[in-house]
Amino acid sequence: MSVDIETVKRVARLARIAVDEGEAERMTGELNAILGFVEQLDEVNVDGIEPMTSVIPMEMRKRVDQVTDGNKAADIVANAPATEDNFFVVPKVVE
């Protein structure tokens, strides 16, 4: 399978990365090189094989459902580019 420049632009949109025409063109070549490389997997028969979900067989550890942490709003927003009263500030999303 290979991708064309329109697919690359669509994927860039899904990935939320702005690309200009030149970059999209360059990425098309690079992505096709990688997709060409992974095409080798077509040779492998995977009929009846379970997909890997965990490399180490283990039970998911669960903890008691109670609050163990919190009251640190100031820490959580400390690194944000824009905040107000411990809220993250973003461009207007609702008219």
Q: Which residue has the tokens 């420049």?
A: 5
Residue 85 engages other proteins in binding (rule: CB under 8 A) = no
Site for other proteins in 6-65 (CB under 8 A): 7-8, 11-19, 27, 30-31, 33-35, 37-41, 43-44, 46, 49-56, 58, 60-61, 63
Backbone CA torsion sign across 85, 89, 93, 95: positive
* d(C-alpha 85, C-alpha 39), whole Å: 51
Q: How far apart are the first and last CA of the chain?
A: 42
Q: Note the residues at the interface with other proteins (CB under 8 A).
A: 1, 3, 7-8, 11-19, 27, 30-31, 33-35, 37-41, 43-44, 46, 49-56, 58, 60-61, 63, 72, 75-82, 88, 90-93
